[in-house]
């Protein structure tokens, strides 16, 4: 960390700062220039509160040398992480195709959709049992009954399953039935939930909040990593924009940017990002071209009867066609869906 002092800072004020830094068991190197004095702080930067330093009299600015997400950063871990979910690998050239309905609705429906996406080549099956709905009157998910269906169908088609956790109190039961957890956009900064997920022994998809910056997303990942769970997959699912032409604003540049900042795998969710089945294929291809380690697509065989997110679901045949093209895009970049 570098502390830049105001030109009129007194020796007494510098002394107060260096004493404070010493009390944190860090070293302060004071460099006096003609116009400005700066203090270089040597030590574990993540443990210093830069706002606290800024509140000292005489401080003009504080510049961090390292990113505040030390575990998630590419600097700390230059090799890409590979997250394993059953037999599926995500990252380091291995691509995930996470597909399935928004909600688990019945065993028959889950079975028919799972059969279709597995036949197309999906390597993770999704389905929500606990749904974070904007309206309390909308379908809230099947809960434990849904988890049991997801597990049974996943076993039948030999495909690992992911489901969303909305409440830390459901952690044990979800871990009993699912192979992977999903923290949704609405809970990306639910730090109590992130802390609990960080103690769980399951890989996790962490979705970007709709108003979260790339750094916010990485700080939320840091919560999970700092509590012990190293198997975190980030997901770009669109952020709030001003144009209603798409449900959200698909931030494909964030995917390319994340690949320069973190070793964690990054997947894209063009279903929630666009809300439009006609745009999902193009946005899926763009995501892989931007460096994504996988794609997340909602699929339903009868969207008009879906209990959530029907309008954005791809039909199984549309999914199949999209996937065939996506395999070719992945091939250009030397990656495979395994
Ligand atoms: C979902 O995956 O169904 C979902 C609710 O996603 P998000 O958290 O991205 O809105
Ligand atoms: Mn959904």
Non-local (6+) Cβ contacts of 189 within 8 A are 209, 212, 216, 220
In a domain, 77, yes or no: no
How far are the Cα atoms of 12, 66, 219, 298 from residue 51, in angstroms, in the given order?
20, 16, 17, 42
In a domain, 76, yes or no: no
DSSP of 209-278: PTT--HHHHHHHHHHHHHTT---EEEEE--B--S-TTSSSB--HHHHHHHHHHBSS-EEE-HHHHH--TT
Q: How many CB atoms lie within 10 A of CB 14?
A: 19
Shared-domain flag, residues 196 and 332: yes
pLDDT of 283 > 90? The answer is yes
Shared-domain flag, residues 44 and 100: no
pLDDT of 242 > 90? The answer is yes
Tens digits of residue pLDDT in 106-120? 999 999 999 999 999
Q: Which of 102, 124, 128, 184 best tests ligand 1's pocket when mutated (most atoms within 8 Å of CB)?
A: 184
Shared-domain flag, residues 57 and 163: no
- Average pLDDT of span 184-190: 98
* pTM as predicted: 0.95
Per-residue pLDDT at 107: 98
> Which protein residue's CA is at the shortest distance from atom 10 of ligand 1?
185
Ligand having the closest approach to the CA of 269: 1
pLDDT of 44 > 90? The answer is no
Shared-domain flag, residues 257 and 221: yes
Residue 318 CA, ligand 1 centroid: distance in Å? 20
Shared-domain flag, residues 35 and 137: no
Strand, helix or coil at 327? helix
| Count: domains in the chain | 2
> Which protein residue's CA is at the shortest distance from atom 4 of ligand 1?
184
Shared-domain flag, residues 124 and 26: no
Could you identify the residue written with the tokens 């990485």?
218
Please check whether residue 41 is in contact with residue 2, taking contact to mean a CB–CB distance below 8 angstroms: yes
- Average pLDDT of span 200-213: 98
pLDDT of 123 > 90? The answer is yes
Q: Which of 128, 206, 233, 306 best tests ligand 1's pocket when mutated (most atoms within 8 Å of CB)?
A: 128
Shared-domain flag, residues 104 and 222: yes
In a domain, 241, yes or no: yes
Q: Burial letters for 285-307: b for 16+ Cβ neighbours within 10 Å, e otherwise?
A: bbbbebbbbbbbbbbbbebeebb
Q: Confidence band (pLDDT; 50, 70, 90) for 265?
A: very high
Ligand having the closest approach to the CA of 185: 1
In a domain, 207, yes or no: yes
In a domain, 73, yes or no: no
> Which protein residue's CA is at the shortest distance from atom 6 of ligand 1?
184
Shared-domain flag, residues 90 and 39: no
What is the DSSP code (8-state) at residue 299?
B
Q: Confidence band (pLDDT; 50, 70, 90) for 46?
A: confident
Please give the residue range of the domain that contains residue 222. Answer: 83-337
Q: What is the CATH number of the domain that holds 39?
A: 3.30.70.1140
Could you identify the residue written with the tokens 């909602």?
298
Q: Which of 101, 186, 238 best tests ligand 1's pocket when mutated (most atoms within 8 Å of CB)?
A: 186
For residue 254, how many C-alpha atoms fall within 13 Å in the half-sphere facing its CB? 25
Ligand having the closest approach to the CA of 298: 2
In a domain, 56, yes or no: yes
> Which protein residue's CA is at the shortest distance from atom 8 of ligand 1?
184
Last residue of a domain, one of 63, 92, 115: 63
Ligand having the closest approach to the CA of 182: 1
Q: What's the mean per-residue pLDDT of the chain?
A: 97
Last residue of a domain, one of 34, 63, 92: 63
Cα–Cα distance measured from residue 72 to residue 91, given in angstroms and rounded to the nearest whole number: 14
pLDDT of 45 > 90? The answer is no
- Average pLDDT of span 143-152: 98
Shared-domain flag, residues 331 and 268: yes
Residue 105 CA, ligand 2 centroid: distance in Å? 13
Percent of the chain with pLDDT over 70: 100
Tens digits of residue pLDDT in 51-104? 999 999 999 999 999 899 999 999 989 999 999 999 999 999 999 999 999 999
Shared-domain flag, residues 234 and 115: yes
Last residue of a domain, one of 33, 63, 93: 63
In a domain, 253, yes or no: yes
pLDDT of 47 > 90? The answer is no
128: β partners: 103
Q: What is the CATH number of the domain that holds 254?
A: 3.20.20.70
Tokens read off for 27: 């070293």
Shared-domain flag, residues 270 and 172: yes
Percent of the chain with pLDDT over 90: 96
Shared-domain flag, residues 183 and 250: yes
């Amino acid at each position: 960390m570098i502390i830049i002092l105001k030109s009129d800072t007194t020796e007494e004020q510098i002394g107060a700062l260096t004493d404070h830094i010493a009390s944190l068991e860090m070293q302060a190197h004071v460099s006096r220039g003609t116009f400005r004095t700066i203090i270089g702080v040597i030590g574990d930067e993540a443990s210093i509160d830069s706002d606290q330093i800024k509140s000292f009299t005489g401080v003009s600015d504080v510049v961090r040398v390292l990113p505040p997400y030390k575990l998630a950063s590419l600097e700390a871990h230059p090799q890409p992480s590979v997250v394993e979910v059953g037999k599926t690998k995500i990252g380091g050239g291995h691509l995930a195709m996470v597909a399935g309905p928004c909600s688990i609705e019945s065993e028959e429906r889950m079975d028919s959709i799972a059969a279709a996406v597995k036949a197309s080549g999906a390597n993770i099956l999704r389905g929500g049992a606990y749904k974070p709905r904007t309206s309390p009157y909308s379908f809230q998910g099947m809960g434990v009954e849904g988890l049991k269906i997801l597990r049974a169908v996943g076993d039948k088609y030999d495909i690992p399953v992911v489901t969303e956790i909305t409440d830390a109190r459901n952690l044990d039961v979800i871990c009993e039935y699912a192979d992977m957890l999903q923290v949704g956009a609405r809970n990306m900064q639910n730090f109590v939930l992130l802390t609990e997920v960080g103690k769980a022994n399951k890989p996790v998809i962490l979705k970007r909040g709709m108003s979260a910056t790339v750094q916010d997303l990485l700080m939320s990942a840091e919560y999970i990593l700092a509590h012990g769970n190293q198997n975190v997959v980030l997901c770009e699912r669109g952020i709030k924009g001003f144009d209603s032409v798409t449900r959200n604003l698909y931030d494909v540049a964030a995917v390319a940017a994340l690949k320069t900042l973190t070793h964690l795998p990054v997947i894209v969710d063009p279903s929630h990002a666009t809300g439009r089945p006609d745009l999902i294929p193009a946005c899926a291809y763009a995501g892989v071209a931007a460096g994504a380690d996988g794609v997340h697509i909602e699929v339903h065989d009868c969207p008009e009867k879906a209990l959530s997110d029907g309008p954005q679901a791809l039909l199984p045949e549309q999914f199949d066609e999209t996937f065939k093209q996506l395999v070719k895009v992945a091939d250009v970049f030397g990656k495979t869906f395994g």
